[in-house]
Amino acid sequence: MDLGDNFSVVFYGINDLRVEQRPIPKPNDDEVLVKVGAVGICGTDLHLLSTGCVASYAIKKPMTIGHEAAGMIIKVGKNVTHLKPGDCVTIEPQRGCQKCSCCAVGRYNICANPKFSGLFRLDGSMTGYFVHTANFCHKLPANISQEEGALIEPFSTAIHACKRGKVCFGSVVLIMGAGPIGLLTAAAAKVYGATKVVVTDVLKWRLDKAKEMGADITLQVQADESDDIIVQKIISVLGCRPNISIDCVGIQSTIAVALKATISGGTVGLVGLSGEDVMDIPITSILLREVDIYGVFAYANDFPTAIEMVSTGKVDLKPLITHHYKIGDVLKAFDSLKTKEGNAIKVLIHPN
């Protein structure tokens, strides 16, 4: 069967992104070949393009990018029995080693030897045809489109953040940042039963979207406002301090606000990954008030939950999709996200 072109978006270096033809891969016995329908551009992709790094991991060779993807299965390996050609799937881009202590207890997202398509050691899914381990391809119900399927990956991060923070009925949740992860975390927190969710951002149009995604309260802040002023505004609009705060920005000022605003004995989750490795944070306040801090990296066993929430109508991902581009226009797509042209939130590439 002639499958045609396999145009792929390949990272060669800082600000060097190329679209090139690559061979169509063949699935091994435990893999499937997916015809990719939609791929989201993530903030991590923008960071990679501008710095050449993902966190502290430097990309040293040409690599196909992309890790938020969905598509239709074209071929399956001989050991694959739970999927078949024609099935639409969302792709979980991680592959744990299945040998380390973290993988042994199901926390493969913090594997000692991680592999992550489009970020660590594996080519990504911003390509026409993509091969991946079958067990990390999740079948989509008929009522979830491939475009929505591409957002299951970031939504799983939001779910993981809420699960790690033990968001539940009665929780009062502060979310710093109304980018895609912040917006999805607000939606997930409401499903988990949070009584009040407040989202902060510097951009009003993002906060409008936060209300659409389920936030109870939004708060526009100014970049030059002090931490203490923002903390007082948060307490004022909530009528109390949050017991769970989740930072989805990753810079010192937003983390400091989250730590200072949270109630004594509360919890702060760190999700945003900006590239800053060393920060000044209010240690004394954290110690004296016994504020717990937890980190969030990606997800583990959260894709099925994300799919269920979307398929049952508890969360609508469609409002986040603002832009669509063909693969040949990928540079325009990156620019639209970088400049926030047309209030860009989630920009999708359509390889086929």
Same domain, residue pair 170 and 217: yes
Tokens of 339: 């400049």
Residue 53: predicted pLDDT: 87
Domain count, the chain: 2
- Domain membership flag for residue 312: no
* Share above pLDDT 70 across residues of the chain, in percent, rounded to a whole number: 99
Please give the residue range of the domain that contains residue 164.
Answer: 159-295
Residue 58: predicted pLDDT: 82
Predicted TM-score (pTM) of the model is 0.96
Q: How many CA atoms lie within 13 A of 72 on its CB side?
A: 10
- Domain membership flag for residue 307: no
Residue 277: predicted pLDDT: 75
Mean pLDDT of the region 311-327: 98
Nearest one of 153, 186, 205, 146 to 324, comparing CA atoms: 146
Same domain, residue pair 141 and 72: yes
CATH code of the domain in which 27 resides: 3.90.180.10
Residue 265: predicted pLDDT: 98
Residue 2: predicted pLDDT: 61
Q: How confident is the model at residue 60 (pLDDT cuts 50, 70, 90)?
A: confident
CATH code of the domain in which 180 resides: 3.40.50.720
Residues 86-97: tens digit of each pLDDT = 999 999 999 889
Place of tokens 């489009």: 118
Whether the predicted pLDDT of 1 surpasses 80? no
Same domain, residue pair 33 and 85: yes
Q: Between the CA of residue 280 and those of 149, 191, 242, 313, what are the distances in Å? A: 38, 34, 22, 41
- Domain membership flag for residue 210: yes
Same domain, residue pair 59 and 169: no
- Domain membership flag for residue 1: no
Whether the predicted pLDDT of 56 surpasses 80? no
**Rounded-to-integer distance, Cα 248 and Cα 226, Å:** 19
Residues 112-157: tens digit of each pLDDT = 998 999 998 899 999 999 999 999 999 999 999 999 999 999 999 9
What per-residue string of b and e applies to 259-281 under the rule 16 or more CB within 10 Å gives b? bbbbbeebbbbbbbbeeeeeeee
Residues 263-301: tens digit of each pLDDT = 999 999 999 987 777 889 889 989 999 999 999 999 999
